[in-house]
Amino acid sequence: MKNNREWLRTGSQLMILSLISEHDRYGYEIIQELEERSDHTFEMKEGTLYPILHRLEAKGFLKSYKKTMENKRERKYYKITPSGQKQLIEDKNTWEEFSKSVRQVVEGTRTVSYER
C-alpha cells in the first residue's frame, strides 16, 4: 500500500500524463489547465510542476522539444511517448481501483451507533 506522498505523486502523475496525452503542452499551460478543470481545487505551487515533468521525461514517459513563438519566446513543449501512454493506462487503472476501494469502505457495512 502506498503512502500518502506516493498517492499524491501518482495522482499528479496521472493528471499530468492525461493532459499531455490529449495534446502536447508546455509547463505554464499545464498549470492553467489543472487549475481550470479542477475548479481550482488543485492550485499547486507552480514551480513544483517542473520536477515532476522532468522526472517523467527522465523515465521516458515524456519527450520535450522547443518551439519558438512569434514573439521570439521559446517554449519547451512535452509530448507523451508510447511508454508514457502505457503508464497512463496503468495509473488510471490503479486510481480507479483505489477510489473503488475507498468507496467500498465508506459505503460498506457501517456500525451505526445511536446515542439517546
Partner 1 sequence: MKDEYINKILMHVKNPFVKEKIKKELLNHLEEKEDYYMSKNFNKTEAQEKAIEAMGDPETIGQELNEVHKPYISYLIIASRVFLISAIISISLSLYPLIIDFKDSFFNDKNDEKHTQNLLVENYDKIISMQQTFHFQKDIYIIDQIAYNLDNDDIAFVIKEKRRMIPKPFDDSDLKYSFNLDCEDTKCELLNMSYKQRLINVKSGKDKQYINFSIDSGLHKETYQLNLEGIKYE
Q: Which residues bind partner 1 (CB under 8 A)?
A: 26-28, 45-48, 50-51, 54-55, 58, 73-76
For residue 57, the minimal CB distance to partner 1 (Å) is: 9
Choice between 65 and 103, CB closer to partner 1: 65
Choice between 37 and 76, CB closer to partner 1: 76
Nearest Cα to Cα of residue 78 among 65, 61, 59 = 65
Query: For the chain, what is the HEC assignment?
Result: CCCHHHHHHHHHHHHHHHHHHHCCEEHHHHHHHHHHHCCCCCCCCHHHHHHHHHHHHHCCCEEEEEEECCCCCEEEEEEECHHHHHHHHHHHHHHHHHHHHHHHHHHCCCCCCCCC
For residue 26, the minimal CB distance to partner 1 (Å) is: 8
Choice between 73 and 116, CB closer to partner 1: 73
For residue 89, the minimal CB distance to partner 1 (Å) is: 24
For residue 40, the minimal CB distance to partner 1 (Å) is: 13
